[in-house]
Structure 1
């Protein structure tokens, strides 16, 4: 569990740097467009792809830090032991089937894109297959973080994101 948590923590912290790159590209494009009347042809497409990497690869990190949307109306009133059982059942009934479909479909999606060397159709043709491969990596990261969270519930070791 600790190894899985560490992997998603490291990935999350590294990917967070992309927010700075993303903002920098947008600022650069705005300056070029309005200050110099010379808009870039590539900034919009590149920023979309960077945002895609940023958004999708943070799923496991968000799950680790309990940042996903949750409906706690039912579980909030339960005793801690019963709450853990209900949450563990939620992983079995909802999360793991979703994660299985996400992993298998994203792998198929990525492998097809990689085989075709798929490109964007925008002003600048960028490769799409790295982003689709990242989708598959993100699905695996989310799945393994789900396993870690499930095991914490089953074993009763509610560890916080900072290791306490």
Structure 2
């Protein structure tokens, strides 16, 4: 189990590193968009290459950050029912989703996309738009992104198993998210502090 937990921590570090720097791809796309707009306005010139490189950077940013998003539990989740189940049921649902949904989808995408990416790299396929870019760099984002997502899914599965065996923290709680007990204690502490901060009522005057 310790070896698996070490693997899980390594995957977490990898996706954390990539996720924190993926924001710079969004920044790059924003800068290129602004420069393209200025050049088009001032010099009445534009190129499909400017538009496509924005698309490339945006595709890379959200695909390679998918694993980091899963690590931080920021994907959209419908927990209306799940949050009311016992912890063992929540854990079982989490593991079922990782094994029977996330893993097969990632493997299927990799199975179909990887040969296409290699084919585009070997053929050097270009965009059909005038002044467009070569295609394989944006296609490469698919196998890279889904590989990172698949690895993070396995990391989360390892953490679920470790928690079930009593060898790790609860992976179903979002990082930095307080448990119900901690939230209640914090609310009571704030309420007590608010009451203490209120000025004392003036003493009643004798009639």
Q: TM-score, normalised by structure 1?
A: 0.89
C-alpha offsets along residues 18-46 of structure 1, whole Å, 9 cap, x if unaligned? Answer: 11111101111122222x14232132121
**Alpha-carbon separation, structure 1, partners of 2:81 and 2:59:** 33
Counterpart of 2:149?
142
Q: Give the RMSD, CA atoms, in angstroms.
A: 1.7
Instruction: For structure 1, list consecutive stretches of 5 or more residues without a partner in the other structure.
Output: none
**Alpha-carbon separation, structure 2, partners of 1:161 and 1:9:** 13
Q: 1:132 to 1:161 in 2, by over 3 A?
A: farther
2:130 alignment partner, one of 123, 131, 149: 123
**Alpha-carbon separation, structure 1, partners of 2:83 and 2:136:** 42
Structure possessing the higher relative contact order (Cα contacts under 8 Å, 6 or more residues apart): 1
Counterpart of 2:85?
78
Contact persistence 1:114–1:129 (CA under 8 A)? yes
Q: TM-score, normalised by structure 2?
A: 0.72
Instruction: For structure 2, list consecutive stretches of 5 or more residues without a partner in the other structure.
Output: 1-7, 164-168, 177-207
Deviation at 1:116, TM superposition (A): 1.4
Deviation at 1:140, TM superposition (A): 0.7
Higher-Rg member (1/2): 2
Q: Which runs of 4+ in 1 moved over 4 A?
A: 159-162
What is the total number of aligned residue pairs between the two structures? 161
